[in-house]
Amino acid sequence: MCSGFILSACTEDLCQVRKINFNGIELKWIKTIDTGGYYQNQIVMHGDSAYIVDSGNNVVHKIDLHSLSLTKAFIDLGQNANPYALTVSEGRFYIVNSILTNVVSASLESPSSLEIVLDSGDLISPAFVTATKGSVIVVDSEFDYLNADNTKGTLIVIADGVKQTVKTVNPNPQFAYVIEDSLVVVCSGVTKFDVDYAVIPPEKSCLEVYNLVDLTQAPVISCVENTSLSHLTFTSEAIFAGSGTSASIHRFSRESYAFEHTIEIGEANEVGMTYPLAFDDSILAVSNFNHDSLSVVSASSSPSMIGTLKLSLTDYNRLGPIGLAFDRDRGNLFVVYSLAGIVDVFQVDFVGH
């Protein structure tokens, strides 16, 4: 195992040859893209482009996957929009604006021509959007900032201009993922803070699995105690959930959705915020927001840590890695930072796998 590797300050030419090998998995830094972002939230790949949701600047940036060139503010959502999540479906963008409390849409060819799909009359606190088979699915956390214990949750499905609403069983749904014919919704639970601002995780956080053919059917529910589940990634055998409150990820069965076990990325019970990404059926990458690190983890039935890369260059403060995306055609891993306004690109070579 190799851990704690630090990329030191260097010129771009020198950094081109900087690399680290985790037991046959080689990461080679190839470029840093300076977006100038402020509270970047998400990276989404579609076709030959990657799109970065930049909440603080109210824009979406575009990266060409071939040249790694950047188009800043490819989509401008307007002042105080606070874009939070994005998806692309059937030639259109769908973007959740948190402060404006709406969902807007635009075509890939005319990204400046925005249309409102849902507005504040339809939503309370929109958190996420995904799409499948002609349907757009918006996750409304219904988070109650005045009394968090009143938080509930709703899914809004739009198909052929018709809106359908489905109440979640558990509070504070934050993410939703289409896995074959199922919609897997992450109900993160309500995180609180004590008088010293220490994190108090929810008593439980749950996956709710809905039948996409009939969302009114009762979902399969699988919960984990004392954590706040977040982003998902999946392999052919398992689903892995990140955490919004601990330096860990959580494995669920892909077949039954039952919770199987927790993998510690840091120390046990250590505060953290993790984002997992499956390279393939055997290997995961996991970013840790609180510790500015990137870990490589085995995705086997008995998963284990392979190694950790400390994301530290003195050229930039690499604070808050928040999103990961993998361009399988070119073998490039993109690491998006929330607090640094940059995107790092690593070439991944599975030389020993």
Q: 338: domain CATH number?
A: 2.120.10.30
Candidates 123, 121, 115, 160; CA nearest to 139 is 123
d(CA 68, CA 194): 44
> What is the predicted pLDDT for the residue at 314?
43
> What is the predicted pLDDT for the residue at 268?
62
Domain extent, residue 252, equals 1-34+227-353
Residue 201 within a domain:
no
> What is the predicted pLDDT for the residue at 7?
38
Candidates 153, 150, 152; CA nearest to 139 is 153
Residue 157 within a domain:
no
Residue 328 within a domain:
yes
d(CA 187, CA 177): 12
**Which residues, given as ranges, of the chain have pLDDT below 70?**
1-18, 268-269, 312-317, 351-353
Number of domains in the chain: 1
Residue 208 within a domain:
no
CB 136 within 8 A of CB 122: no
> What is the predicted pLDDT for the residue at 243?
95
DSSP per position, 231-290: EEEE-SSEEEEEESSSSEEEEEETTT--EEEEEESSSTT----EEEEESSSSEEEEEEGG
d(CA 63, CA 48): 9
Candidates 128, 124, 118, 114; CA nearest to 53 is 128
> What is the predicted pLDDT for the residue at 316?
55
Residue 167, Cβ density class (10 Å: 0-12 exposed, 13-18 middle, ≥19 buried):
exposed
Residue 322 within a domain:
yes
pTM of the model: 0.92
Residue 58 within a domain:
no
Residue 294 within a domain:
yes
Residue 30, Cβ density class (10 Å: 0-12 exposed, 13-18 middle, ≥19 buried):
middle
Residue 137 within a domain:
no
